[in-house]
């Protein structure tokens, strides 16, 4: 009894120590951002580089305030977010479905791999114009561009995750006469979820690239359009605002998936302790 | 319930495209309420025999019957316990034991009630919210036993359930199984390597030959029930153990 309470105290001490380490680790990226901001201030203050190339932070802040006030930033962000959302839905959905099929029927891998690898190894920028021709100049073509770029990491992770499911646990499920859907829901999905969520993290940042590439190739609306039009007007501060907004979106999405991962995989943290 | 194997044989395909016989042909009938231990050298097809009965392995020839019905898929009323605990690491002890009920579509409240009633018997009362990685080998195996018990099976298929455990834990768990046995009246078929364990637990000990396993001895254990660990020092116990030992030595050459 005493022994166990002693080890418990030791555990708590160890935890609080590592908690302090965690806070430090969490703050360090913030310090990096702060440092970059200082360097930026210094460069523009001394006018080491022309303000057309690197506008002072104050100008960027002003452009941000303007774009926020007239609602254009929000409108373009929502366009891009919408394209990303539907692109993720489509790309991740198809990636999961085909990945699961390939994991279950390896024959499919031989049939499909030439197409998939060819698709993946061709730069998205190169065939984005084709997608515009096929799917029109509206948001649909951007959604498809996003879906294509998001598809591959989802596919690869799904195949890896589902193939790694323990055959012993599969025997357990089979011995209980579990149906296909039950095996998927109670075994394959939770077993593959660490790998699937890792894939979703990658996909979530790629989604921004997909949507923006689509908007670059055919600028109508969205943050990609905002960058293009601002650049054409030599409005560098607005270019900065657009780019930083994309960064913020990508980071938020990444953090959101990381949060989901943290909530879903609590058993893993406890198992590793 | 009655089980019977008729000329049951299983062969696996080898990489050269040939067939590698693993088991049989074996013929065997197991009646109501019998506790049968299968014993034999490694690789003699004991596990394969258990898997056929569990409906996880199709026989190459011959047939396995349950009350005259061929076993072609996992049967209702059959439960299998594997050599390893095979628990789902993302499920708590409670949810691992409740898995069969969840698959069967029992509502959450009911299945937790059933499992909680089982926990004291399994000596897992304070571990219902623990994850498998937090358990000792013996505890994990008790969870696996709970996952069998919760199915209230009529046929228990136990594939060396305590084989991966140390000798002391193993003895303790097999005694616990003995106590459970005295409360129930079902068919139990258990694979073991341990002669004393087999004689202490079983009504019948079946000795299988090396690969492909064939039936070489069918020894009836006529020791009285309930059984106690002290019985292993009695003359009748030793006589039976020696007989089984002899038939194993005979086939091993």
* Structure-token pair, residue A98: 């085909």
The CB density around residue B195, as the number of other CB atoms within 10 Å, is 19
Exposure letters A88-107 (e unless 16+ CB within 10 A, then b): bebbbebbbebbbebbeeee
- DSSP character at residue A105: -
Give the neighbor-by-neighbor strand order of the sheet with B19-30: B19-30, B3-13, B61-66, B69-70
Cα diameter, chain B? 56
Ramachandran bin of A144, using left for φ above 0, alpha for ψ from -120 to 50, beta for the remaining angles: alpha
- Predicted confidence band of residue A119 (pLDDT cuts 50, 70, 90): confident
> Is the domain of A41 the same as that of A92?
no
The reported pLDDT for the residue numbered A139 is 85
The reported pLDDT for the residue numbered B21 is 81
Contact A175 B89 (CB under 8 A): no
> Is the domain of A225 the same as that of A92?
yes
Taking alpha carbons only, the member of A194, A181, A187, A211 closest to residue A81 is A211
Exposure letters A188-198 (e unless 16+ CB within 10 A, then b): bbbbbbbbbbb
> Is the domain of A92 the same as that of A200?
yes
* Structure-token pair, residue A123: 């730069």
Mutation choice for B interface testing from A161, A176, A184 by most B CBs within 10 A: A176
Q: Where is A180: in which H helix or E strand?
A: helix A180-182
ipTM > 0.90 for the complex: no
DSSP B48-112: HHHHHHTTSS--SEEEEEETTEE--SPPTTEEEE-SS----TTS-HHHHHHHHHHHTT--HHHHH
> Is the domain of A118 the same as that of A177?
yes
Is the per-residue pLDDT at A183 higher than 60? Answer: yes
- Predicted confidence band of residue A1 (pLDDT cuts 50, 70, 90): very low
B69 and chain A in contact, CB less than 8 A: no
What is the pTM assigned to this prediction? 0.78
* Structure-token pair, residue A92: 């991740």
pLDDT digits (tens, 9 = 90+) for A242-271: 999 999 999 999 999 998 888 888 787 777
Interface of A with B in 246-265 (CB under 8 A): 265
The reported pLDDT for the residue numbered A92 is 93
- State the residue range of the domain holding A117: 57-272
pLDDT digits (tens, 9 = 90+) for B90-102: 999 999 999 999 9
The reported pLDDT for the residue numbered B219 is 85
> Is the domain of A85 the same as that of A15?
no
> Is the domain of A110 the same as that of A181?
yes
> Is the domain of A65 the same as that of A182?
yes
Mean per-residue pLDDT for A80-92?
Answer: 93
Query: Which chain B residue has its CA at the smallest distance from A273's CA?
Result: B134
Mapped onto helix, strand or coil, the DSSP state of residue B144 is helix
Mean per-residue pLDDT for A15-27?
Answer: 69
Q: Are B65 and B4 within 8 A, CB to CB?
A: yes
Residue-level length of chain B: 253
> For residues A161 and A144, what is the distance between their CA atoms, to the nearest angstrom?
25
> For residues B88 and B141, what is the distance between their CA atoms, to the nearest angstrom?
13
Q: Find chain B residues with C-beta within 8 A of A270's C-beta.
A: 131, 133-134
The CB density around residue A140, as the number of other CB atoms within 10 Å, is 16
The reported pLDDT for the residue numbered B91 is 92
Per-residue pLDDT of chain B (253 residues; tens, 9 = 90+): 888 888 888 888 888 878 888 887 888 888 878 889 999 887 778 888 899 999 898 888 888 888 888 888 888 889 999 988 999 999 999 999 999 999 998 998 999 998 998 888 888 888 888 899 888 888 898 899 899 989 988 888 999 888 777 777 777 777 777 777 666 668 889 998 888 888 888 889 998 888 788 888 888 888 887 787 788 888 888 988 898 888 888 877 5
Interface of B with A in 4-23 (CB under 8 A): none
B65-70: long-range contacts, CB 8 A cutoff, minimum separation 24: B65/B3, B65/B4, B65/B5, B65/B6, B66/B1, B66/B2, B66/B3, B66/B155, B67/B1, B67/B2
Question: Which of A9, A29, A48 is the last residue before a domain boundary?
Answer: A48
Distances (CA, A) of A247 to A58, A209, A253, B22: 19, 10, 10, 61
Contact A186 B132 (CB under 8 A): no
> Is the domain of A6 the same as that of A79?
no
* Structure-token pair, residue A154: 């989802």
* Structure-token pair, residue A14: 């160890």
Q: Which of B73, B78, B134 sits opposite A270 (nearest CB)?
A: B134
Is the per-residue pLDDT at A9 higher than 60? Answer: no
Question: How many structural domains does chain A have?
Answer: 2
| CATH, residue A122 | 1.10.3720.10
Q: Are B88 and B132 within 8 A, CB to CB?
A: yes
Q: What are phi and psi of B198, to 5 degrees?
A: -60, -50
> For residues B218 and B207, what is the distance between their CA atoms, to the nearest angstrom?
6
Average pLDDT, chain A: 85
Strands (DSSP E) along chain A, which ranges? none
Is the per-residue pLDDT at A4 higher than 50? Answer: no
> For residues B252 and B209, what is the distance between their CA atoms, to the nearest angstrom?
8
Is the per-residue pLDDT at A10 higher than 70? Answer: no
Mutation choice for B interface testing from A175, A177, A264 by most B CBs within 10 A: A175
* Structure-token pair, residue A86: 């539907």
B89 and chain A in contact, CB less than 8 A: yes
Give start and end residues of each alpha helix (H) in A105-138: 107-121, 124-135
Task: Please tell me the distance in Å from A146's CA to the nearest CA on chain B.
Answer: 32
Q: Which of B86, B89, B133 sits opposite A172 (nearest CB)?
A: B86
B112 and chain A in contact, CB less than 8 A: no
Question: Which of A30, A48, A66 is the last residue before a domain boundary?
Answer: A48
> Is the domain of A222 the same as that of A110?
yes
Taking alpha carbons only, the member of B77, B67, B70, B60 closest to residue B26 is B60
Distances (CA, A) of B5 to B41, B209, B227: 20, 16, 28
Q: Which of A175, A190, A191 sits opposite B56 (nearest CB)?
A: A175
> For residues A3 and B51, what is the distance between their CA atoms, to the nearest angstrom?
44
Q: Are A141 and A135 within 8 A, CB to CB?
A: yes
A183 and chain B in contact, CB less than 8 A: no
- Predicted confidence band of residue A3 (pLDDT cuts 50, 70, 90): very low
The CB density around residue B102, as the number of other CB atoms within 10 Å, is 18
How many helices (H) and strands (E) are present in chain A, helices listed first? Answer: 12, 0
- DSSP character at residue A143: H
> Is the domain of A141 the same as that of A23?
no
* Structure-token pair, residue A50: 């022309």
Q: What are phi and psi of B104, to 5 degrees?
A: -75, -5
> Is the domain of A140 the same as that of A206?
yes
pLDDT digits (tens, 9 = 90+) for B96-138: 999 999 999 899 899 999 899 888 888 888 888 889 988 888 8
A190 and chain B in contact, CB less than 8 A: yes
The C-alpha torsion from A194 through A199 and A201 to A206, rounded to 10°, is 180
| Adjacent-strand bridge partners of B205 | B37, B219
> Is the domain of A44 the same as that of A124?
no
């Amino acid at each position: 009894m005493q022994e166990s309470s002693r080890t418990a105290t030791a555990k708590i001490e160890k935890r609080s120590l590592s908690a302090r380490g965690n806070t430090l680790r969490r703050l360090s990226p913030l310090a990096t951002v702060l440092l970059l901001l200082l360097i930026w201030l210094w460069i523009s203050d001394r006018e080491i580089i022309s303000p057309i190339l690197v506008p002072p932070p104050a100008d960027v802040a002003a452009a941000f305030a303007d774009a926020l006030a007239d609602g254009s930033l929000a409108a373009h962000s929502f366009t891009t977010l919408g394209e990303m959302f539907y692109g993720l839905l489509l790309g991740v959905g198809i990636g999961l479905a085909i990945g699961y099929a390939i994991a279950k029927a390896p024959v499919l891998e031989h049939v499909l791999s030439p197409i998939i690898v060819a698709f993946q190894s061709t730069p998205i920028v190169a065939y984005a114009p084709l997608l515009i021709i096929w799917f029109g100049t509206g948001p649909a073509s951007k959604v498809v561009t996003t879906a294509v770029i998001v598809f591959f990491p989802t596919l690869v992770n799904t195949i890896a995750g589902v193939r790694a499911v323990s055959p012993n646990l599969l025997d357990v499920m089979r011995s209980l006469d579990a149906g296909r859907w039950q095996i998927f829901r109670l075994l394959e999905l939770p077993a593959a979820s660490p790998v699937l969520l890792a894939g979703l993290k990658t996909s979530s940042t790629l989604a921004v690239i997909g949507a923006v590439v689509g908007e670059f190739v055919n600028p109508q609306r969205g943050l990609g359009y905002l960058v293009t039009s601002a650049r054409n007007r030599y409005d560098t501060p607005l270019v900065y605002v657009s780019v930083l907004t994309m960064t913020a979106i990508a980071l938020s999405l990444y953090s959101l998936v990381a949060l989901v991962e943290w909530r879903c995989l609590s058993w893993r943290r406890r198992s590793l302790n | 319930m009655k089980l019977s194997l008729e000329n049951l044989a299983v062969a696996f395909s080898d990489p050269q495209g040939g067939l590698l016989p693993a088991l049989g042909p074996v013929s065997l009938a197991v009646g109501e309420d019998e506790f049968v231990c299968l014993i034999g050298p490694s690789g003699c097809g004991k596990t394969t025999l258990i898997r056929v009965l569990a409906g996880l392995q199709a026989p190459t020839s011959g047939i396995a019957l349950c009350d005259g019905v061929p076993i072609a898929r996992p049967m209702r009323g059959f439960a299998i316990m594997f050599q390893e605990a095979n628990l789902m690491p993302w499920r708590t002890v409670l949810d691992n034991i409740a898995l069969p009920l969840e698959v069967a579509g029992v509502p959450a409240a009911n299945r937790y009630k059933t499992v909680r009633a089982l926990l004291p018997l399994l000596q897992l009362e304070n571990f219902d919210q623990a994850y498998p990685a937090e358990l000792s080998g013996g505890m994990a195996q008790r969870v696996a036993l709970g996952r069998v018990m919760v199915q209230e099976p009529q046929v228990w298929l136990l594939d060396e359930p305590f084989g991966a455990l140390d000798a002391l834990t193993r003895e303790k768990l097999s005694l616990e199984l003995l106590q459970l046995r005295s409360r129930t009246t079902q068919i139990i078929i258990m694979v073991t390597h341990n002669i004393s364990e087999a004689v202490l637990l079983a009504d019948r000990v079946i000795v299988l030959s090396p690969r492909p396993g064939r039936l070489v001895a069918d020894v009836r254990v006529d020791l009285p029930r309930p059984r106690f660990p002290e019985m292993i020092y009695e003359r009748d116990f030793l006589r039976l153990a020696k007989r089984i030992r002899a038939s194993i030595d005979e086939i091993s050459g």
